[in-house]
Amino acid sequence: MFILVSIFLPIIFFIAPINVIAIQSNLDLSSAQTSVGKRFAKVFCDAKREGLDSDFASEYALNNTYLKFVAFPDDDEYLDNLWNFTHNNILDNCGEFVDINDLKDLELFFKEEGLIASNRELYLPTFENN
C-alpha cells in the first residue's frame, strides 16, 4: 500500500493544476511577478534563443509556466503591471531576439491569457456530485 501511495501521490500532484487564488485584497503583485512574469519571460527567452518564432515561443512559455493555472483578480491595472514587469524581463534577457511587432503580439497574447486567468471559473468545467 505504501508503495502505491508513494508512486501515485507525486503523479497526482504533477497532473493536478496549481490553483493559485489571487484575491485582490491579499495578493502581492511581487509574488505574481516572480512566479508568473519572471518564469514566463525566462521560458519565452529560452525558446527564442533556440530559434522558435514568437508565436511558438509564447505558446511554449504558456505551457511551461504557471500562467496557465493561476487565477488573477479581474483588474486591468494588475494585468498591465504584470505585463510591464514581464515585458521588461524579456527585453533584459533576450531583447536582441524580439522586435516591436513581436512584443505587441506577445502583449496581446499575455493579456488574453491573463484575462482568462482572471475569469478562470468561466473556463473550467464544473462537476456535480450525484
For 80-107, write each residue's pLDDT tens digit. Answer: 998 999 999 999 999 999 999 999 999 9
For 16-59, write each residue's pLDDT tens digit. Answer: 444 444 444 335 677 778 888 899 999 999 999 999 999 999 99
Q: Give the number of other Cβ atoms within 10 Å of residue 46's Cβ.
A: 16
Contact 54, 102 (CB under 8 A): yes
Grid cell listed for 93: 534577457
pLDDT reported for residue 127 = 53
∠ CA(46), CA(49), CA(51), 5° rounding? Answer: 115
Q: Give the number of other Cβ atoms within 10 Å of residue 40's Cβ.
A: 26
Residue reference for cell 482572471: 118
Residue 68 has pLDDT above 90, yes or no: no
